[in-house]
Amino acid sequence: MFCEKRRADGIKMRQKRGSDGRLMKKKFILDAGEELDEPSASALEKAIGDFVQTDVPLKIECVFVSEDEIKELNREKRGIDKVTDVLSFPELDGIKGEKIQKKQFPYDLDEEGNLVLGSLAICVARAKEQAEEYNHSYRRELHYLIVHGVLHCLGYDHIEEADRAEMREKEEEILGALGITRDD
């Protein structure tokens, strides 16, 4: 069962609750609003939760934005005045490949006891264009962009070739756990 809450900026966010009405604890929580259906969100939460090593539930917020909004964010945050597909805003440093432990970040927990990993902004129009360009489904592209953004929030990057290869391997590992291939 999901309930909706509205953030201060008006975006609706889903929270999963058990039959008793209490928030369910997971290893990874994806707040993705309405663009991502519940089965996809749950599958992503499980696949990423299985990938990450943590003793505290991790939470990431994902918002879906227009081309104008992503361009403005890209200009403000990165100094790049162009549309992009996904932007990641990590909250934690030095966690790549490490077990994330509650004791490392005791003051960074939200009101539900989750450690906020960061946030993502995904441009829906760009995701649809790329799905067509790469000849795969919008579903596959959307899942890829979420996984890609989450990996950035976990400390992975693709500036150097060795880092790029490592990140691509992790992306394919998580997408494979979701049953999503390049042919999807």
Packing angle of the helix pair 138-153, 161-177 (nearest 10 deg)? 120
Beta bridge partners of 88: 120
Please name each of the domains of the chain with its CATH number: 2-177 (3.40.390.30)
Greater model confidence, 19 or 29: 29
- pLDDT at residue 177 greater than cutoff 80: yes
- pLDDT at residue 6 greater than cutoff 80: no
The DSSP call for residue 73 is H
Give the residue from 119, 13, 16 showing the smallest Cα distance to 5: 13
Q: How far apart are CA 164 and CA 160, in angstroms?
A: 6
| Residue 12: strand, helix, or coil | strand
Read off the pLDDT of residues 109-161 as tens digits, 9 standing for 90 and up.
899 889 999 999 999 999 999 999 999 999 999 999 999 999 999 999 999 99
> What is the pTM (predicted TM-score) of this model?
0.84
Residues 88, 151, 2, 111, CA torsion sign: negative
| Residue 9: strand, helix, or coil | coil
Residue 138 tokens, joined = 């919008």
Q: How far apart are CA 44 and CA 106, in angstroms?
A: 26
Read off the pLDDT of residues 65-103 as tens digits, 9 standing for 90 and up.
999 999 999 999 999 999 999 999 999 988 999 999 999
Read off the pLDDT of residues 161-170 as tens digits, 9 standing for 90 and up.
999 999 999 9
